[in-house]
Amino acid sequence: MSSPLVLASGIIGTSAGLLERAARCGAGAVTSKSCSLEPRLGHPNPVAVEWGGGVINAVGLTNPGADEEVHLLREAKACLKLLGIPLIASIFASSVEQFGQVAAIISQAEPDLIEVNISCPNVGDEFGTPFAGSPESAAAVTEIVKSSTHIPVSVKLAPNVPSIARIASAVVKAGADAITAINTMPGMIIDAQAGKPVLSNHMGGISGYVLKPIALRCVAEIRQAVNVPIIGTGGITTGLDAAEMLMAGATAVGVGTAVWFRGPEAFALINTELIAFMEQEGYSDLESMRGIAIH
């Protein structure tokens, strides 16, 4: 990677042109928006709103379905190959079996990495518990995806679990090549004047700088539990934030909501700020920072 920054899934990753734009703005790798086996329309507006601590969204995983996504990924891959930037394809599903099907279809586009979003509800579960909610279900998804593709796999974990370290250990044991941590945190914003939730879906995922302390804790716990690459994601807005994430044990740093606040130029700005911090504090390379806060 030309920089440690990764465009997070769901942020301007809906077309080849936008993925290329993020790459040209300084992302060292880019992640497409999550796709499922069948197309999804998502939720009606409003689906995202800025609040005092960041952004809350309930887009509803809008996507064209895996078959159409292959075309988008192939186009993006061709553009990114010229720039030397890896492409990460994000997938999700409502059953373990579907995860395997989606992975097999998406593999036709030959992305450099498949990111497995397991934060969605398991429709086969009596209570609709997310796959990320238990080591057993997370491992089951990991195993079927690994058996359905030849491409390396990163499993994206959720923060709202009793022990993220246990789940990380389970997915690595099941074959995960890397871990992306974390997804958004479930939350709700209410319009007091209107007396109702702001989002049409009522609840959504909280992202932005308010999420950073949670993400740092999760990444630190994961790093102490496993020894695979970690894409540390959540609340990264500045170069100093990126340095903190690396110090927590991240291998690379996911950037998402910062694009909302700073535009696609956020990648170049964060890279510049990170370099300035390293020069100021005497760090010669990224490796000299990684994990120092948890040793």
CATH code of the domain covering residue 168: 3.20.20.70
- Please report, as a single letter, which amino acid is at residue 196: K
Is 155 in a helix, a strand, or coil?
strand
Distance of alpha carbon 184 from alpha carbon 206, whole angstroms: 5
Residues making up the chain, counted from first to last: 295
Q: What is the pLDDT along the chain (295 residues), one digit of tens a residue?
A: 999 999 999 888 889 999 999 999 999 999 999 999 999 998 899 999 999 999 999 998 889 999 999 999 999 999 999 999 999 999 999 999 999 999 999 999 999 999 999 987 555 565 567 899 999 999 999 999 999 999 999 999 999 999 999 999 999 999 999 999 999 999 999 999 999 999 999 999 999 999 999 999 999 999 999 999 999 999 999 999 999 999 999 999 999 999 999 999 999 999 999 999 999 999 999 999 999 999 8
Phi, psi angles (nearest 5°) of residue 55: -130, 145
Nearest residue to 167 (alpha-carbon basis) of 115, 226, 215, 214:
226
Helix (H) or strand (E) holding 207: strand 203-207
- Catalytic residue among 25, 35, 120, 218, which? 120
Nearest residue to 167 (alpha-carbon basis) of 148, 186, 145, 140:
140
pTM over 0.85: yes
Nearest residue to 257 (alpha-carbon basis) of 207, 197, 292, 215:
207
- Residue pair 223/249 in contact by the 8 Å Cβ criterion: yes
Is 76 in a helix, a strand, or coil?
helix
Buried b (16+ CB within 10 A) or exposed e, 50-74: eeeebbbbbbebbbbebeebbebbe
120 is catalytic: yes
Residue-level pLDDT at 122: 55
Residue-level pLDDT at 127: 55
Distance of alpha carbon 196 from alpha carbon 224, whole angstroms: 42
Is 166 in a helix, a strand, or coil?
helix
Digit-coded pLDDT (tens) for 106-160? 999 999 999 999 987 555 565 567 899 999 999 999 999 999 999 999 999 999 9
Digit-coded pLDDT (tens) for 33-52? 999 999 999 889 999 999 99
The token pair that represents 190 in the structure block: 């209410």
Q: How many domains does the structure of the chain reveal?
A: 1
Domain that holds residue 239: 5-294
